[in-house]
């Protein structure tokens, strides 16, 4: 398939903000994609060339892209950089300068999806001496053959700046409409931006099948190919594979104990809610252990201690367990906040020293697969019983989450005090008869915390400070996310950080993290890729016409970096609205 066909779809998607229209555009396009191209097309629609759990990265920064544009077009780097500062978007710059490059540099080769995909994947494989030049040539090869509008999206894909407003829900629905629309009678009306469905129950059946297939593979590419090639049976035959992370089950929130009981029922299992980070532990039949975060990042190498805990203390030929790694003080043994161990997630060097300086205890609370058998549809009570049978607890290494079955409010309150006194955030409520539902907030699991709810927000911009803070990015533009995956600003946060690194999260560290993510600079204002998520406290949520979200945080303050969360796990606009409305009741 020619790349120009995919670019037409990108352009159509960028011209509408309507979720259903975006879904319709993608579904119509997918009908024309053959099975051999499907995986590559689906990944490129998501703006990537590797699945989310694959740790490989294209590894091209803005400066290298400037050089590649220079090589491809013959236009000076200074001129390209001036245009970049003016436009604030290297993709747009590429489109503009390719339009103006000399005719003699144009090639007639038509770019294909396969060629784009192969070159971009090669970028991630290059290393060693001469890597910069080889990467430059690979990119320039594509740009030289690209039409202006194609060059825009090539650059955006390479830099990870594809923002076409397509979320997981749209991708799931598009696959359903494309390959099962004739069976479920889906009809989209552009005028009313609505759909008609002949049989809602059958429609939901196919939607659920697509969603489940995605939840256990984390690849819409595989799901779409299975749906295209083998229909519903193909989706049903997709199973989880040990060594490939699945979406973890997510919890709803409750403001009161009564609300939690109402959702999960009585009796319920209650557990300590640990202030750590999610670890999904895999062991295959060859004995290999892999560890993944809730963002599906492979952190096996960063946690050799946890690998050993799992290998020695969990029985089974193969399994997938769900757990929380919690940091603790070597002096007191008491649990520490997430931030105290978060630096271990990204660490690539001095691993043994980090393991010793920042030890963790793995608290196991669920099991997803055991000895080749899926546990997804088994009730929680049975899954917990299996954990108790196969785990050999070892304090400060690996233990079962502290749990209790209760029916009375007074028992919850007592257990809650015990959890908080031990340094935990609060409690989790779990329905005893519920299945494990990957990637969904369906009410089987509830988190209950005593403090005011915080927000997890993505940093989309920053500002250089003044005076002694002039060398730091010291004010951060923070954003929630809407249903289409768009980032909507809700305020600026500049308090909560330290001036000295040894005192905690500092302006120095934040500047170091944000500078490589810079998209554009105008004066003191910096626009950055939305990759860093921070937990933000505030005094109040107010309505505001100033920000795109329609809301503003009063006195926002940075509490910590959430290394365990990706930008698309930021708090949603709907959740901000919910918190705003709940304020009015108090």
Q: What is the mean pLDDT of residues 382-403?
A: 96
Percent of the chain surpassing pLDDT 70: 98
Summarised one tens digit per residue, pLDDT across range 1-34 is 999 999 999 999 999 988 999 999 999 999 999 9
Given this model, what pLDDT does residue 586 score? Answer: 41
Given this model, what pLDDT does residue 26 score? Answer: 95
Q: What is the mean pLDDT of residues 503-508?
A: 85
Summarised one tens digit per residue, pLDDT across range 416-475 is 989 888 878 889 999 999 999 998 778 899 999 865 678 999 999 999 988 888 899 999
Q: What is the mean pLDDT of residues 333-344?
A: 80
Q: What is the mean pLDDT of residues 316-332?
A: 93
Q: What is the mean pLDDT of residues 229-238?
A: 90
Given this model, what pLDDT does residue 272 score? Answer: 95
Given this model, what pLDDT does residue 127 score? Answer: 83
- 452 or 548, higher pLDDT: 548
The answer to whether residue 581 scores a pLDDT higher than 90 is no
Superfamily designation of domain 455-583: Nucleic acid-binding proteins (2.40.50.140)
N-to-C CA span, the chain: 58
State the average pLDDT for the chain. Answer: 90
The domains of the chain are located at 48-159, 252-449, 455-583
Matching fold, domains 48-159 and 252-449: no
Output the CA torsion 370→371→376→380 (10° steps): -40
Given this model, what pLDDT does residue 440 score? Answer: 76
pTM: 0.72
Give Cα separations from 238 to 133, 178, 367, 390, 476 (angstroms).
41, 19, 19, 27, 43
Q: What is the mean pLDDT of residues 551-571?
A: 90
* Six token digits for residue 87: 């436009």
Domain 252-449 adopts which CATH fold? D-amino Acid Aminotransferase; Chain A, domain 1 (3.30.470)
Summarised one tens digit per residue, pLDDT across range 267-299 is 999 999 998 989 999 999 999 999 999 888 899
Is 273 one of the annotated active-site residues of the chain? yes
The answer to whether residue 347 scores a pLDDT higher than 80 is no
Given this model, what pLDDT does residue 107 score? Answer: 54
Q: What is the mean pLDDT of residues 113-119?
A: 94
Give Cα separations from 210 to 23, 108, 167, 229 (angstroms).
14, 40, 15, 14
Given this model, what pLDDT does residue 57 score? Answer: 85
Summarised one tens digit per residue, pLDDT across range 78-112 is 998 888 888 888 999 999 998 887 444 445 578 99
Q: Phi/psi at 282 (nearest 5 deg)?
A: -115, 140
Tell me whether residue 348 is exposed, middle or buried, using C-beta atoms within 10 angstroms of its C-beta: 0 to 12, 13 to 18, 19 or more: exposed
Q: Which of 22, 273, 430, 449 is catalytic?
A: 273
Given this model, what pLDDT does residue 29 score? Answer: 96
- Beta-bridged to residue 335, according to DSSP, are 328
- Provide the angle, in degrees to the nearest 10, between the axes of the packed helices 90-100 and 148-159: 150
Q: Phi/psi at 93 (nearest 5 deg)?
A: -60, -45
Which of helix, strand or coil describes residue 237?
coil
Residue listed under structure tokens 């062991």: 283
Q: Which CATH number fits domain 48-159: 1.10.3260.10, 1.20.950.20, 3.40.50.1820, 3.40.309.10?
A: 1.10.3260.10
The answer to whether residue 163 scores a pLDDT higher than 60 is yes
The answer to whether residue 344 scores a pLDDT higher than 90 is no
């Amino acid at each position: 398939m020619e790349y120009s066909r995919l670019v037409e779809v990108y352009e159509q998607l960028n011209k509408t903000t309507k979720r259903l229209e975006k879904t319709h555009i993608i579904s119509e396009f997918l009908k024309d994609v053959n099975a051999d191209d499907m995986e590559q097309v689906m990944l490129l629609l998501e703006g990537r060339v590797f699945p989310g759990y694959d740790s490989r990265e294209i590894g091209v920064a803005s400066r290298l892209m400037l050089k590649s544009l220079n090589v491809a077009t013959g236009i000076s780097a200074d001129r390209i950089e001036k245009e970049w500062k003016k436009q604030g978007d290297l993709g747009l710059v590429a489109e503009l300068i390719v339009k103006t490059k000399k005719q003699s540099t144009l090639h007639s080769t038509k770019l294909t999806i396969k060629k784009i995909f192969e070159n971009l994947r090669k970028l991630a494989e290059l290393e060693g001496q001469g890597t910069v030049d080889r990467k430059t040539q690979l990119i320039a090869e594509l740009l030289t053959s690209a039409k202006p509008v194609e060059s825009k999206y090539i650059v955006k894909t390479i830099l990870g700046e594809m923002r076409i407003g397509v979320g997981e829900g749209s991708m799931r629905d598009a696959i359903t409409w494309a390959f099962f629309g004739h069976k479920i009678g889906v009809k989209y009306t552009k005028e009313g931006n609505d759909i008609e469905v002949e049989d809602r129950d059958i429609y939901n059946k196919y939607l659920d099948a697509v969603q489940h297939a995605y939840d256990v593979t984390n690849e819409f590419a595989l799901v779409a190919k299975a749906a295209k090639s083998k229909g519903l049976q193909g989706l049903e035959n997709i199973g989880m594979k040990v060594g490939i992370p699945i979406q973890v089950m997510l919890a709803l929130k409750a403001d009161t104990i009564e609300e939690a009981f109402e959702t999960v029922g009585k009796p319920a299992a209650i557990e300590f809610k640990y202030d750590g980070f999610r670890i999904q532990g895999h062991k295959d039949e060859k004995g290999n252990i892999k560890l993944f975060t809730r963002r599906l990042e492979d952190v096996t190498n960063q946690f050799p201690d946890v690998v050993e805990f799992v290998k020695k203390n969990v029985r089974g030929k193969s399994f997938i367990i769900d757990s929380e790694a919690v940091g603790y003080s070597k002096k007191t043994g008491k649990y520490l906040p997430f931030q105290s161990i978060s630096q271990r997630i990204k660490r690539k060097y001095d691993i043994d020293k980090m393991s010793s300086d920042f030890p963790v205890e793995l608290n196991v609370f669920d099991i997803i697969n055991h000895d080749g058998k899926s546990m997804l549809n088994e009730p929680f009570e049975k899954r917990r019983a299996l954990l108790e049978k196969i785990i050999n607890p070892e304090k400060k290494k690996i233990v079962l989450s502290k749990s209790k079955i209760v029916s009375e409010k007074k028992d919850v309150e007592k257990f809650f005090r015990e959890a908080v006194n031990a340094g935990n955030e609060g409690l989790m409520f779990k329905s005893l008869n519920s299945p494990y539902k990957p990637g969904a907030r369906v009410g089987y699991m509830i988190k209950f915390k005593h403090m005011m709810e915080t927000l997890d927000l993505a940093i989309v911009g920053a500002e250089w400070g003044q005076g002694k803070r002039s060398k730091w990015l010291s004010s951060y533009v923070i954003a929630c996310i809407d249903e289409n995956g768009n980032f909507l600003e809700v305020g600026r946060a500049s308090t909560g950080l330290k001036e000295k690194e040894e005192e905690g999260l500092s302006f120095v560290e934040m500047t170091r993290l944000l500078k490589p993510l810079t998209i554009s600079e105008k004066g003191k204002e910096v626009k950055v890729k939305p990759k860093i998520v921070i937990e933000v406290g505030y005094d109040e949520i107010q309505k505001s016409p100033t920000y795109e979200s329609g809301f503003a945080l009063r006195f926002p303050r940075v509490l910590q970096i959430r290394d365990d969360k990706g930008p698309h796990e930021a708090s949603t606009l709907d959740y901000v609205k919910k918190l705003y409305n709940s304020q009015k009741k108090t």
